[in-house]
Structure 1
């Protein structure tokens, strides 16, 4: 779970119930641990020595499962991004105990009190992680970024690398990062704007204590380095997607734009939050101007993220053009193999294609199987996310029964009306017969039960 943090552990009891409900793994089987410990002791072979590159990592301060390290250098008017990705496939053999367990899990699951990793910590937070405590095997991608932001994959190789520093979003300054870091991110954003892309990265939420002793959901400030760091992964994933599509192979991340009903709900949400959205302005144009530092706009960014028709995975097919609406281009996941199973196979395909070799049959077969496995992992992750948000909302509102709030109806379906509170990032159902989308309401909190992760409101009148 990446959306809610719980520094005071007020969600602890409820989180335990969520872990039980969704069968979140507590540990790895003994045979997987034994295989991982043996794999961690392997000596890299067939890796080119690139330990001289001035690579650094940039992640949250507490992260130890470091998928990526990077260096940037000028090449005429272009920038060369040297992007090292953890070489998980070096440690994991096809159909060994680690591999079979990873296929069962699909992805790392995140909750505010910890994660259930895709791979055992001896690998994901040790031998395979790009920590700055020694050489690590990696897959090194070289991405050439032109002045207009177009990114092209120039090289891919297995390499031995050494991170110079473990930098944190919270503390890293410009002097710690490559001089071209901000310029590369600016170029990627320029290309996004030209394509009409509009990625929405809402800030994360955390449970904070109010002066009266209660709790509230607040948005954490998003550091500029986070957005810039995301641009590096974006550029690499786009470049790999272009390569694989041209060679008629790959596993693509695909997503359609929000449909008309979803956009209508978002317009009502914007109205509830007091945010002006001109009728003639498209969602793409509107969302690019939202400011995550403003709590109301941050809440709307969160609503936009949840309003899409959902991203999924699809293998390359003749006669089709994989498309990801949020990035307005074909797109793959290749830069987080410690956390997502699919990335390991996309990386293997990219290495083969760049070497002029056929994609291994086991990789092609995996591309056919992975959509179902990753879809299941995405679904479980989404259910956990929703359960955690429901829990946090109930904890936040507990003890405030009887208080009145302004709200607006965002949509109505066979299950009744759904409303957005005007001053809190809460969307919930309410019994409001006759209410239509866009109807302003005055509501009273009837009950907030953290044990059931439920809140209940009653309508007490319309707001003119």
Structure 2
């Protein structure tokens, strides 16, 4: 499958981006004295978020600075128009297609270490259980004191060498995880997939997320929940909604994880099951990856005046909005501007309100493209992994039936694939690898 990915930015877009950066005027409020830091994957240059935690009496305070992309992407500009075409940054195994020109996404708007940058600064005060009891949102100048990667922060925490701010992250993470459990939510922290060469063969290595990655994810989740609350109270905005998985999807997932050697107990909800998986076990990592099937059907629900009937994101088990990645995702820019206006008691700008009905289609189209890009990359890698094994037989479990065959799960190597023939969900079958074409990323199995 050939994907029509966006190409490089035109000279007109690049020139307009440079002009916007040159004309930028920073916000009046100066919060550069707050020692924000960023925590991102190694080598990241498009830094959306910086954080700072402190304890104030009985209260845990979390400050979260989000890159102020609207300062550089002016409504109605060619940069805005191009961003609406792209929708989001696309990530491949060794490359990416950015949402904005790099003068914005990796420089002027990115919260780079040592640089003063404009940001939307959220401040959350939490009670002893981790519930948010007060929220503020302002535009301000901030300075990132240091860019950490996840491994560095985890090592600091493990060796009791983290500063006061970072040392509060585990407590915050535990409190928010417990609240998630109580409301029936389920976080899906997918393992990283990396391509490696072992003994001359391609392999896909899955790496479990570190505890600090989970803590950091809960800061974004909390922000998205508060953004949704603010927009619902203001009666204008756009939510990220998702239905709960149906019984057939849950049963298919149950068969799939059982075939991987990680059975899901009948009396346990799927959120609790995912939290109990041991991510040091490769089979558990594969089970976590398979759980993406439970998180389908997500979309965006805009509203202006009349509140929507469906406001829940089923995995979060609460109203939720995308609000923390404006450098990489189009919709976040509009959410942030709407929330800041509502909190300040101003009217949400007309350009935001006019865009709201258009955003679901843009994000849906580009999310599908991102999914296809990701899937095609994995398909090619899996085909390369299996090519030397054409003709071999494998034991597999049929996890679902299709019109002319079904979907099988192989435990070793961890492969999910289609197969033709008469099969029934739940069957354990022997399959033979017929072909593995690297050029197209196609794999063909037959019943042995």
Q: Normalising TM by the smaller chain, what interval?
A: over 0.9
TM-score by length of 1: 0.91
Q: Contact between 1:145 and 1:184, CA under 8 Å: does it hold in 2? A: no
In structure 2, C-alpha distance between the alignment counterparts of 1:312 and 1:321, rounded to whole Å: 11
- Where do residues 244-255 of structure 1 align in structure 2 (5 Å cutoff)? 244-255=231-242
Instruction: Say if 2:195 is the partner of 1:207.
Output: yes
Give the secondary structure class of the aligned counterpart of 1:250. strand
Alignment match, 1:444: 432
Alignment match, 1:241: 228
Match of 2:248 among 250, 261, 285: 261
Instruction: Say if 2:408 is the partner of 1:419.
Output: yes
- Where do residues 56-205 of structure 1 align in structure 2 (5 Å cutoff)? 56-152=37-133, 154-172=135-153, 173-174=156-157, 175-176=161-162, 178=165, 179-205=167-193
In structure 1, C-alpha distance between the alignment counterparts of 2:400 and 2:198, rounded to whole Å: 31
Out of 275-284 and 96-105, give the one that drifted further: 275-284
State how many pairs are aligned.
439
In structure 2, the CA distance between the partners of 1:195 and 1:409, relative to structure 1 (3 Å rule), is same
In structure 1, C-alpha distance between the alignment counterparts of 2:310 and 2:247, rounded to whole Å: 23
Match of 1:226 among 213, 225, 231: 213
**Structure 2: which 5+ residue stretches go unaligned?**
none
After TM superposition, give the deviation of residue 154 of structure 1 in Å: 1.8
* Partner deviation per Cα, 1:186-228 (whole Å, 9 max, x = no partner): 11112111111011112111122222x1122120232222111
After TM superposition, give the deviation of residue 152 of structure 1 in Å: 4.7
Runs of 4+ aligned structure 1 residues displaced above 6 Å come to none
After TM superposition, give the deviation of residue 318 of structure 1 in Å: 2.5
Alignment match, 1:295: 282
Alignment match, 1:337: 326
After TM superposition, give the deviation of residue 176 of structure 1 in Å: 4.3
- Where do residues 314-463 of structure 1 align in structure 2 (5 Å cutoff)? 314-316=301-303, 317-318=306-307, 320-433=309-422, 435-460=423-448
Q: Contact between 1:44 and 1:137, CA under 8 Å: does it hold in 2? A: no
TM-score by length of 2: 0.95
RMSD (Å), alpha carbons: 1.5
In structure 2, C-alpha distance between the alignment counterparts of 1:329 and 1:142, rounded to whole Å: 20
In structure 1, C-alpha distance between the alignment counterparts of 2:208 and 2:410, rounded to whole Å: 22
After TM superposition, give the deviation of residue 307 of structure 1 in Å: 3.5
Out of 419-428 and 323-332, give the one that drifted further: 419-428
